[in-house]
Every structure is written in C-alpha cells, then in structure tokens.
Amino acid sequence: MRNYYARFVSFALFIIFASPIFAQETLIIDGVEVTRVIIAPPRSPIALIIKDGLYKDYKSSKFESKSYFAKQKLYYFYGSRHFEPLWLTNDASGKPELSKKALEILKVFENSASSGLNPNDYLSDAIDLNTIGSNPVDLAHFETAFSAATMQYASDIYGGRIKPRTVSVNLDYKPNKIDENDLFLKLASSNNPTKILFELEPKQREYVALKAALASHLLEKQEEVLIVPNGKILRVGETDARVPLLRERFNIILPNVGGDIYDEGLLAEVENFQSTAGLQVDGIIGPATIAAMNGNKNASKEDIIANMEIWRWMPRDLGDFHVFVNIPQYWLEVVKNDKVVHSTRVVVGKTKFKTVAFSDNIKHVVVNPYWNVPRSILNNEIAPKVFKNPSYLAASNMQLLSGSGVVDATKIDWSTANMNNYRVRQLPGPRNALGSVKFLFPNKHAIYLHDTPSKSLFSRSSRAFSHGCVRVKNPWEFAQALLQVEPKLRYASVKSQRVDGGKERWNNLSSPVPVHLTYFTIRIDDEGNIHSYSDIYGHNKRLKALLGI
C-alpha cells in the first residue's frame, strides 16, 4: 500500500498551484483577520484511500521543504473536494464510471491521430475501467493514471513528443513546456476541458494546413501516386533504372534510345519542368529536382507528422515582423503580419558543417565586416597553407593576430610555433568571405547571415556549400526589407557605409528582429499547394524513426 502512495504522489506532484483553490473561511480573532483552511471529510472508500495516502506522504516530508509545501497544497486541493477524484463518479446504482470531464478527454485521446500523435500513448489499460473493477485502491490508481495520461497528452501536443537534440545536436529548438500546475487547475475548474486542451495546439497557418493535409490521408482513400525515388545524380546520356519511371512521370510514350538511358527527349521535359519550378535549368536530376517532381505526392503521412512535430518545437509567437530561413529549401523570407514581404535564395552549411536550426534575434547589421576565421577552419584549412607558405595570409588579405596586435606571419618559425596561440581575420574588401555586410544574432553556434563573393553558387538547385553560416543572395535587398521597421536606422544611410576595403561599421538595431532558422521538408503556401524539399541532413528520416512512424 505504501508503494501506491508514493506512486500516487509522483504522478500528482505537478499540482503545485500558483494560487490555492482549496476551501477557506475568514475569521476575526482578537480583532485580527485570519484565514483557515477547511479540509472536508471523505465520503467514500476511494476518498478515504486518497486522503490517507496524501496525508501520510505530506507529513513524512521534511518540514517546510519544497516537497513539504507541494504535498501540502495537493492535500489541501483534494481536501476541499472531500478527497473525491476528478475523473471518476458513480452511476445511479453506485457503480464507478468516468466523469463527464474524463469522457470528453477520452475522446481527445481517441482522436489524437488527427494531430499526428499516437492514441496508444494515452489509451493504456491503466485508464480502462473495464479492467479495473470497483476496488477502491484500483480506482485510486485509475485516478492518478488518468491525470498522468492527460498531462502526457498536453505536453506532447504543446511541445512535441521528441526532444529535438535526440534527433540531432544541430536541432537546437527550445520546445514549449507546459505549465502543468496552471493546466491542471484549469481542467479541474472547467466545464469544457476539451477546449482547454485544443488551445494547446499550434495555431500557425502552416501547422493548421499540415493538419488538414494529414486529415486527407486519414479520412480519404488515397489513390496510388507516382513517386520517383532518390538515387545518384543523373545526367543526360547516363543509364539508371529510374528512367522508365521518369518517362511515365512526363507521359513520354517512346524513348529515343535504350529504355534505361536518359535521352534527349526526356532531357527536354526535365529542363522545361525545372524552368517552371524555379530550379536551375541544367537538366541534371538531383535531390532538389526529384523533390520538386514528387511535390505534394511526396508528402506522405509520415512526412506530414514529422513536420507537424517540428512546428510544435517552434516558438508560438514568431513575431509580427520576423526572418524565416528554411534550410532544406535554401530559402529566406522576411515576414510582416503573416505576409512575405521579401524572399531570396540562400546557401547553407554542407553536410560536414550543418547549419543549426534555432531561433534568436538579429541585433546588428555590420557593413565592411572583418571575417574572424573560426578556430576549426583556421586549424584544418588555413594553418596547413601558412605552414607551407607564410605569405599565404597577406596574399589572401588576412592578418595574423596575437592578443590584440597584428604580427607578421613571415617572421614566425612555424616549425616550432603553435597556431592555437594566434587568431586570423580577413580584412574588409571584395574578396572577404562575408562580402560587404553581415547580420548578427550573437549565439553559441557562431552562425549568422551574410553576403558572399561566391555568387555563382546561388544558381544551383542544391545549395549546401558553407561552413554553417547562411549566405544571402541579395543581401542589400534583404537589409532594406529588414530595416523597414527600424526607427533609428535608415537603409540609405547604412548602405552608404559600403566601401571596398572600408572601415568596419556596426549598426545596432533598436528593435531586435526575431530570426528563425528552421528545418522543414514540407511547406504549404497560401494557396494550399504542398512543396516538398530534400532531407539534406537526414533529420527528417531520423525524426520519423524516433516517432515510430
């Protein structure tokens, strides 16, 4: 029996109320107003068990410890209701049955698949009255198990089932955490618990659209669709087993040459498709072209559920004015009042140097930036070149620094010197790796948005080439869009600071702009069209495995 008490409290300790809801009466004693807690006597066998267990556990805690006060408030809460359970009641014959609140919440559990959750996570045998009977101890256990299932559902729908960093350390989302104390208080006092639970679900437009897309998978019979699988990059003249499927995709009846050869007829259709899809028209069939070909046909139920999970990790409030970067899409948007006011292509980190997904605030626009070379790049890429040729730094418009001073790399004996004792930075100029401007949101990942002299990469369909930072195709157009709500900085004034080789100039935003680096392999536009993108880092595949789908 004592094990039951401990288990009961372990499930119910989340009821540490911010404000007490137990019964009170106010008395005047010697002219002083005092408040007395009223503990109502139990009126049923199950209530006696609940009272006995809570009281013993509360009194056995260290006096005035955090645990003591938590268990005290729990005891007071149930005491105000004669220690009667929240989720159980009795029918006319006295037989235990689910309360009206519990029946409503049970329906939420049963329908949770429509939100991309697993009903079996909540509908366990522990909350099945048919398997419990009428034993008071079993009924008391049911009470706590139902509360635990309710809180599990609330936590899952509000902040997600999976912790982002278990998928990858490069998913540094900060999932929304449920205020269990506040939620339980609302459920206990509400006549409409379903509404309270529904309010926990994300309200972002794309999440709602994904939920609707999931409903079509769950409720309608899906016709068989043609999916072109990923594979090696395919160029005209090469042979691949997917070629007949590609011809079927474009309704090509007869090939010009052999059946599995990527011929000129198919090339014309691929190039036409790439043009209409906004891809680089090169006739090369790679991951981006395959994902675009499959389109909404590639949006499987499992992919939709995984992307809904990521939306639950996202901040509930993205900001009335914010920057949204979607890594698999290689795309940046400036959003104002839910409308995209500017968009452009971006280059993201290669698979070896993945761009981290996280949210922050842009605080600085830096014109004519230095590039302070990250230690990993310095040690792995630049140091070997310096050891071979100490003049490499000067030829690359770079400086070697020791402390705060600049030193001459050609006067150092690199056979004995340690590069870890030095720093390297690249001077502002046309060859600077950051281009003419960078947009800073100081963070532990050392990731930011910036210009680049390597403009040719933006014409490619797959654009994972950086060391982790996000390169912006049209940085000054982006700067103009970013500064439109900034009261103290004028775009023309900031752009006038741009001088090749000029002095680094910092411009601090008086109102930091939220920036969200995201990882969505599915996006839904305002017209309801579903767009699928290649899972460039494998996060989507790993997330689906962890979700058990």
Marked catalytic residue, from 141, 322, 469, 531: 469
Q: Please report the DSSP string for 350-387 in residue order.
A: -GGGPPPBEEEEEEEEEES--EE--HHHIIIIIHHHHH
The phi, psi pair for 362, rounded to 5°, reads: -70, 125
Nearest CA to 482 out of 511, 454, 504, 525 is that of 511
What whole-number distance in Å separates Cα of residue 311 and Cα of residue 518?
A: 9
What whole-number distance in Å separates Cα of residue 211 and Cα of residue 468?
A: 32
Active-site annotation holds for 516: no
Active-site annotation holds for 450: yes
Burial of 208 (0-12, 13-18, 19+ CB in 10 A): middle
The phi, psi pair for 219, rounded to 5°, reads: -105, -20
The β-bridge partners of 387 are none
Paired tokens of 188: 């206990």
Query: Is the torsion defined by CA of 479, 482, 485, 486 positive or negative?
Result: negative
| Residues 6 or more apart in contact with residue 144 via CB below 8 angstroms | 7, 8, 11, 12
Q: Please report the DSSP string for 410-466 in residue order.
A: GGS-TTT--GGG-EEEEPSSTT-TTTTEEEE---TT---EE--S-GGGGGSSS-EEE
Marked catalytic residue, from 82, 141, 364, 450: 450
* CA-CA-CA-CA dihedral for 218, 224, 226, 228, to nearest 10: 60
The catalytic residue positions are 450, 469
